C-alpha cells in the first residue's frame, strides 16, 4: 500500500481540515497518516502577526518537514500561505470552498455587544472594515487557535470576536455565529475558506486530482494575484474575493498602505474566467491609483 504522509499544524481546526484530505486518500487505498507540529506562529502569542513576521510563520515548520522528507504533502488554510510561493514547494491543488465570509461571535448566552469591552480581532483587514460597522466599539488583538479565542471570549475578555465562518463550520461550531457579514461589508482575506495542498517539486500527486476543485483554483489565483500586484502580504490590510458568475470572473477587493492609518479603498472588476491574473492586475492598478488620488 502506498503511503502519503500529511503535514498539519496541531490545532484542532488544522487536524480536522487535514482529516478531510486523509479520508479522501484512504478511500483511494492510500495509507495517509497525519503528522502534526507546532509552528512558530502558534508559539508566539504575545504579539500581533505583523510584529513577528506575518502569517508565513504558520507554514514555516511544515515547509521544513516537506523539504527534509518527514512529510509528503501539507494541508493549509490558504489564507495562511504567503502570496509569494516557493518553487520547491508548489501548491498542487485547492479544495472546494467553504463559506468565505467573516462572522461575529458573541459570548455564550449573549445577544448584543457590550460596549464596555473590545471586539477581539487580530486582522487589520477586518478591523478597518468592521470599524465602519461598529464605530462605537473598541478593537483589541486576540491570538491563539479558534478554541482558545472562544474561551477568552466566554471568560469575559471581549464583547465579541470576528472570525472566519469556514473554521467554525468545519469545527461543528456554526451555532456560535451571531452574525454573518456579507462580502461587501467585510471583504474576505484572499483564499479564505479554501484548503491548499502543498507538495515537494517532483512528488507524484496525481492521486489528488479527484479531490481538488478547478473553480477554486481559478478564483484563488485571481485573489492571490491581486495581493501580489499591490505588494501585499498575509498580514497586510488588503483583501480580495472572487466568484464566477454567469460565465464571468467577478473580483471585489480592498487596498490600503502600511497598517491602514490613511484608510482604504475598495473596488470591483469583471473579466474573462480564463484570465484571472489579468482581472486581478487591472483592479490592483485601479485601486492603487484611486488610493493615491483620495488619500495621497
SS3 content of the chain, % helix, strand, coil (to 5): 35, 20, 40
Q: What is the dihedral of CA 238, 141, 137, 119, to 10 degrees?
A: 100
Write the CB contacts of 198 (distance below 8 Å, at least 6 apart in sequence). 62, 63, 66, 73, 74, 75, 76, 81, 89, 90, 91, 92
Rounded CA gap, 4 and 248, in Å?
Answer: 37
Residues annotated catalytic, as ranges:
79-80, 125-126, 143, 149, 234
Q: How many Cβ atoms are within 10 Å of 69's Cβ, its own excluded?
A: 9
The answer to whether 80 and 146 are in contact (CB under 8 A) is: no
Instruction: Round the CA-based radius of gyration of the chain to a whole number and report it.
Output: 19
The answer to whether 116 and 67 are in contact (CB under 8 A) is: no
C-alpha cell at 12: 484542532
Write phi, then psi, for 161 (nearest 5 degrees): -125, 150
Q: How many Cβ atoms are within 10 Å of 52's Cβ, its own excluded?
A: 16
Amino acid at each position: 500500500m502506498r503511503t502519503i504522509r500529511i503535514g498539519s499544524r496541531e490545532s484542532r481546526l488544522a487536524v480536522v481540515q487535514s482529516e478531510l484530505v486523509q479520508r479522501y486518500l484512504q478511500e483511494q487505498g492510500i495509507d495517509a497518516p497525519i503528522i502534526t507540529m507546532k509552528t512558530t506562529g502558534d508559539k508566539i502569542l504575545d504579539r500581533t502577526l505583523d510584529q513577528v513576521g506575518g502569517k508565513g510563520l504558520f507554514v514555516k515548520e511544515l515547509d521544513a518537514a516537506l523539504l527534509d522528507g518527514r512529510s509528503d504533502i501539507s494541508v493549509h488554510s490558504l489564507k495562511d500561505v504567503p502570496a509569494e510561493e516557493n518553487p520547491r514547494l508548489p501548491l498542487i491543488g485547492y479544495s472546494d470552498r467553504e463559506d468565505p465570509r467573516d462572522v461575529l461571535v458573541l459570548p455564550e448566552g449573549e445577544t448584543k455587544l457590550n460596549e464596555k469591552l473590545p471586539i477581539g480581532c487580530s486582522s487589520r483587514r477586518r478591523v478597518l472594515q468592521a470599524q465602519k460597522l461598529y464605530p462605537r466599539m473598541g478593537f483589541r488583538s486576540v491570538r491563539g487557535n479558534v478554541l482558545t479565542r472562544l474561551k477568552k471570549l466566554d471568560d469575559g475578555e471581549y464583547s465579541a470576536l470576528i472570525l472566519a465562518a469556514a473554521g467554525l463550520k468545519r469545527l461543528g461550531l456554526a451555532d456560535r455565529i451571531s452574525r454573518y457579514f456579507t462580502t461587501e461589508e467585510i471583504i474576505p482575506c484572499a483564499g479564505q475558506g479554501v484548503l491548499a495542498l502543498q507538495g515537494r517539486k517532483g512528488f507524484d500527486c496525481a492521486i489528488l486530482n479527484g479531490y481538488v476543485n478547478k473553480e477554486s483554483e481559478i478564483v484563488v489565483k485571481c485573489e492571490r494575484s491581486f495581493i501580489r500586484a499591490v505588494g501585499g502580504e498575509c498580514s497586510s490590510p488588503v483583501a480580495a474575493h472572487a466568484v464566477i458568475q454567469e460565465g464571468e470572473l467577478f473580483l471585489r477587493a480592498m487596498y490600503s498602505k502600511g497598517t491602514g492609518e490613511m484608510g482604504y479603498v475598495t473596488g470591483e472588476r469583471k473579466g474573462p474566467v480564463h484570465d484571472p491574473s489579468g482581472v486581478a492586475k487591472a483592479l490592483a492598478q485601479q485601486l492603487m491609483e484611486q488610493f493615491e488620488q483620495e488619500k495621497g
